[in-house]
Structure 1
Amino acid sequence: MLFNKNSRIFKEPYIITALIILSIMLFLAIFAPFITEYKPNATNPRNRLQPPSSEHFLGTDEFGRDVFTRILYGIRASLQVGFSVVILTLIFGVFIGVLSGFYPKLDRIIMRILDGMMAFPGIIIAISLAAIWGGGKINIILALSFAYFPKMARIVRSSVISIKDLEYVESARAVGAGDSYIIFKYILRNAASPILVQATFNFALAILDEAALSFLGVGIMPPAPSLGGMITDARSFMTVAPWLIIAPGLMIIFSVLAFNLLGDGLRDFLDPHLRGKIN
C-alpha cells in the first residue's frame, strides 16, 4: 500500500515540506473564526491603512479592514476553489480519458475535440467563461474545471492505453471479465499514480488562476475576501502601504509552491524509474 508504516513517502523532503505548509494553511483556513477577533468585511474608516501592529498583525487596508483576517478567509476561499476544481476535473477527466483509451472508436472523436480545446491556454478559456457566466465562486470553479479537464483526460487516456493490453488484463478478459470490472479492478488502480500527481498540480494551478481571475475582476467578487482581489485593491497603495500587496502575494506563492512540491515528491516516489535515483 502507498500509505503504510513502512512506506518511505513521509521521508521524502519535498513531500514533508509540502505537508508542513499545507497543514499550516489548512489550520488557518479552518480555524479562522477562532484565530482572529475581526470579521473579514468589517470596515473602520478611522483605522484605514494602519501599519502592522499588535492590534492588527498585518495592518489594515483602505477601508480599515484587518488584512490578516482577510488573508485567513482568502486562504479558505482558495482551498475551496482548488479542492472543488480537482474533484470536478477528476470526475470528467477520468471518465472521458477511460472512454477514449479503452474504446478506440470513441478515441478518434473525443481526442479531436480535446485537441481543439487544448489549442487554447487554459487561463484564456477560464477568463472567457468567467466573463460570459459572470464572477462568483461557483462560476470560477466551473470555468477552471472546464479549462483543466482535457489535460487530465489525455493523461488518463495514455495510462489506459499502456495498461489495457498487459498480460493480467488480457487474462481477466479471457476468463470472461466485463469491461466495467476490468476498468475499475485493474486499469484505474494501476493508473492512480499519474492521476494523483496531476491532481496536485491542478490544485496549485487552480489557486494561481483563481487569484489571477480575481485580480482581473472576473473571479470572486468583492467584498468577499480573495487573495487575488486583495492584490488588485492594493495596487493603488503600494508605496504608502506595501503590506497590502506583500502579504497576500506571499500566501499565493507558498500555496502554489506547496502543491507543486507535493506533486514533484509524489511523482518521484511513485515513478519506479525515478525511485531508484532518489533512494
Structure 2
Amino acid sequence: MLFLEKYKKYKHPYITTSIIILIFLIFLSVFAPFLTDYNPVRNNARKRLQPPSKAHFLGTDQYGRDVFTRIIYGIRISMAIGLAVVSLTVIFGGLIGIIAGYYPQLDKVIMRVLDAMMAFPGIIIAISLAAIWGAGKLNIILALSFAYFPKMARIVRSSVISIKDLDYVESAKAAGAKDLRIIFKYILKNSASPIMVQATFNFALAILDEAALSFLGVGIMPPEPSLGAMVTDARTYMVVAPWMIFAPGIMIVLAVLSLNLLGDGLRDLLDPHLKNIIKK
C-alpha cells in the first residue's frame, strides 16, 4: 500500500515504462500455448529458413521450427528461472544478511566467507557450477542463486546494522521483545526497500546470465527453447536468415531493460535521499 501511494504521488516514468514492458512479456509467457499453433520443438525440414510471413510471423529456423513460437516459450522459461533465482536469493541471502547484521559475533566469520565468494564474478561461479552439475533448469537455478546470494546478504546486512540501533528497536528490546519478534516486526519490515530493489536487479541479471549459459552450451539443452541458445544457433545463419538472431536478441534486451528500469525506479521512489530528483 505504501508503494502504491508513493507511485500515485510521484508517477515515476521508469516504473511506468518497465511495467508496460513486463506486462507484455508476462502476457506472452502465460498465454504462449494460446498464441501459436506450432510446436516449439517439432522439426519441419520442408520449411527451414523461411523468412517472416503470415504463416510464420518471425520466420523459421534451420530446422523449420517457428521462431516466434520458440521465442515466447523461451521467454517463459527465462521468466520462470529468473523468478526462482530471485526467490532463493531473497530467502537465503536475506537470512544470512540478517544473522550477520544482528549478531556481531557471527558477522566477521560470515562476511569473510561472502567476501571470498564475491572475489569471483558471479557469471564465472555460475558457469563453473553449471559445468560441474550439468545443464538443466534446476542446476541453472541453483548455480545462479549461489552466485547472487552473497550480494543480497551484504545489502541486507548493511540495512540491518543501520536499523537495529534505532530508538524504536531499542525500546522493543527494553520491553523484553525476543530477537525473532524484533527481526520480523521491526528490522525486516524496514529493510524491504533495498531488498526489493536488489531483487529486481537480480531478476534482470538472472535472465541475462541464463541466456549466457545457454549461449555457452551449459544452460537449457536443445531442443527445449532458450533465447541464449537461439542466438547461438543463429550465428551460423546471420547472413541468410538474420531474423533468427535479431528476434531473440531483442526479447533479451526488452526483459533486462524493463527489470533494470524497474529497479532504478524503485530505488528512486523508496530511497528518501533521492526523492528530490524524482519528477513530479
TM-score over 0.5 (shorter chain): yes
Q: Cα distance, 1:42 vs. partner?
A: 1.4
Structure-2 residue corresponding to 1:147 = 147
Structure-1 residue corresponding to 2:2 = 2
The correspondence of residues 160-171 of structure 1 with structure 2, limited to 5 A, is 160-171=160-171
Given that 2:215 and 2:232 are in contact with CA atoms closer than 8 Å, whether structure 1 keeps it comes out as yes
Q: Cα distance, 1:6 vs. partner?
A: 7.0
For 1:179-232, what per-residue CA distance to the aligned partner results, in whole angstroms no more than 9, with x for missing partners? 000000000010100000000000000000000000000001110000000001
Structure-2 residue corresponding to 1:213 = 213
TM-score normalized with structure 2 length: 0.98
RMSD, aligned CA = 1.1
Structure-2 residue corresponding to 1:56 = 56
Correspondence 1:235 to 2:235? yes
Q: 1:92 and 1:78, CA in 2 relative to 1: closer, same or farther beyond 3 A?
A: same
Structure-1 residue corresponding to 2:86 = 86
Structure 1 distance, partners of 2:193, 2:104, is 23
Given that 1:3 and 1:9 are in contact with CA atoms closer than 8 Å, whether structure 2 keeps it comes out as no
Number of residue pairs aligned between Structure 1 and Structure 2: 279
The correspondence of residues 23-42 of structure 1 with structure 2, limited to 5 A, is 23-42=23-42
Q: Cα distance, 1:2 vs. partner?
A: 2.0
Given that 1:9 and 1:269 are in contact with CA atoms closer than 8 Å, whether structure 2 keeps it comes out as no
Unaligned runs of 5+ in 2: none
Given that 2:56 and 2:66 are in contact with CA atoms closer than 8 Å, whether structure 1 keeps it comes out as yes
Structure 2 distance, partners of 1:3, 1:235, is 43
TM-score normalized with structure 1 length: 0.98
Indicate the SS of the match to 1:8. helix
Structure 2 distance, partners of 1:5, 1:182, is 26
Q: 1:208 and 1:144, CA in 2 relative to 1: closer, same or farther beyond 3 A?
A: same
Runs of 4+ in 1 over 6 A off after TM superposition: none
Unaligned runs of 5+ in 1: none
The amino acid across from 1:61 in the alignment is: D
What is the percent sequence identity of the aligned residues? 72
Q: Cα distance, 1:85 vs. partner?
A: 0.1
The correspondence of residues 97-136 of structure 1 with structure 2, limited to 5 A, is 97-136=97-136
Given that 2:6 and 2:269 are in contact with CA atoms closer than 8 Å, whether structure 1 keeps it comes out as no
Indicate the SS of the match to 2:153. helix
Q: Cα distance, 1:12 vs. partner?
A: 1.0
Q: 1:209 and 1:6, CA in 2 relative to 1: closer, same or farther beyond 3 A?
A: closer
